[in-house]
Amino acid sequence: MVKVAFQGERGAYSEEAVVRFFGEAELVPCPVLGDVFKTVSTGQASFGVVPLENSQAGSINETYDLLLSYPLNIYGEVFVRVSHCLVALPGEKLAAIKTVYSHPQAIAQSEEFLRKLNVEIVPTYDTAGSAKMIRDKELKGAAAIASRNAARIYNLEILAEHIETNPNNYTRFVVISEERAKRAEKNKTSLVFAVKNVPGALYSILGAFANRNINLTKLESRPRRDRPWEYIFYVDFEGHREDDAWREALNDVREKATFVKILGSYPRAEE
């Protein structure tokens, strides 16, 4: 059975992404995102599944930084519908809840619901981890924002469900591996590049794609951690790194960019 690392405790949304992509797998929970990358790069797991962006809260910047730092490939992607529940010990009532624990992303995604409650909000490292903590410490008057699966795993009661502000709340997860994915019928490629700090530099590079009718599905800038006030650009586009048009575009990009890294070509997921 394939070993797959993910961030969080059992019942995390990342675990759901693992199951959706792989079906059965030997799960390797990791406390933080960086540990997922370390686990895969040291061979302790063949694959890792990490969140890349949320349709409501935006990109997970730490994941982008780790993709740049580690010599791993994006092997695939999977979209997970994120539906949050407020969970607590059996017998607890919503009116008695004084403290709510969860990951900052889940808190942000449930802001409208939480505003109606007179509670203290405490950020934690993980949604499922918050549920586990309430169960292990038997915290009364406390609740966690977590998944229905986490409530089942930790034998907690669901006080409210579908508490996310946006019903179209999806998280895009990517699968990372030392392996490269095989070409599929529909592919996506991700890369990162840096440009010279001169007028028209980014425009010139984007033209390499536009001139060949390559459809960009994402473009995002991030500060370079090793060079203050310089930026790198993450790009997703439809197509495979071995396509003729993409090879030609890459040659143009390499001539004009100061840095280029292909993060991977992989099967495009359907939302």
Least confident of 40-49, 102-111, 197-206: 197-206
Whether 217 is catalytic is no
**Res. 134: pLDDT tops 80:** yes
User: In the prediction, which pLDDT does 131 show?
Assistant: 97
Q: Give me the CATH topology for the region 187-267.
A: Alpha-Beta Plaits (3.30.70)
Domains 3-81+169-177 and 85-161 belong to one CATH topology = yes
Domain positions in the chain are 3-81+169-177, 85-161, 187-267
CB 44 within 8 A of CB 35: no
User: In the prediction, which pLDDT does 222 show?
Assistant: 87
**Res. 165: pLDDT tops 80:** yes
**Which pLDDT band, with edges at 50, 70 and 90, does 196 fall under?**
confident
**Res. 219: pLDDT tops 90:** yes
Q: What is the CATH number of domain 3-81+169-177?
A: 3.40.190.10
What is the spatial distance between Cα 8 and Cα 29, in angstroms, rounded to a whole number? 6
CATH 3.40.50.150 fits 85-161, yes or no: no
User: In the prediction, which pLDDT does 249 show?
Assistant: 92
Average pLDDT over residues 99-117: 94
Distances (CA, A) of 36 to 6, 66, 76: 6, 10, 16
Catalytic position from the list 6, 22, 173, 237: 173
**Res. 230: pLDDT tops 80:** no
What is the spatial distance between Cα 6 and Cα 242, in angstroms, rounded to a whole number? 29
CB 122 within 8 A of CB 169: no
Query: E strands, 55-103, where?
Result: 58-59, 73-81, 85-88, 99-102
**Res. 191: pLDDT tops 80:** yes
User: In the prediction, which pLDDT does 240 show?
Assistant: 94
**Res. 109: pLDDT tops 70:** yes
User: In the prediction, which pLDDT does 271 show?
Assistant: 66
| pLDDT digit string, tens, across residues 8-67 | 999 999 999 999 999 999 999 999 999 999 999 999 999 999 999 988 778 888 999 999
Within 13 A of 212's CA, how many CA atoms are on the CB side?
20
User: In the prediction, which pLDDT does 260 show?
Assistant: 94
Whether 171 is catalytic is yes
Catalytic position from the list 39, 63, 127, 171: 171
Average pLDDT, the chain: 93
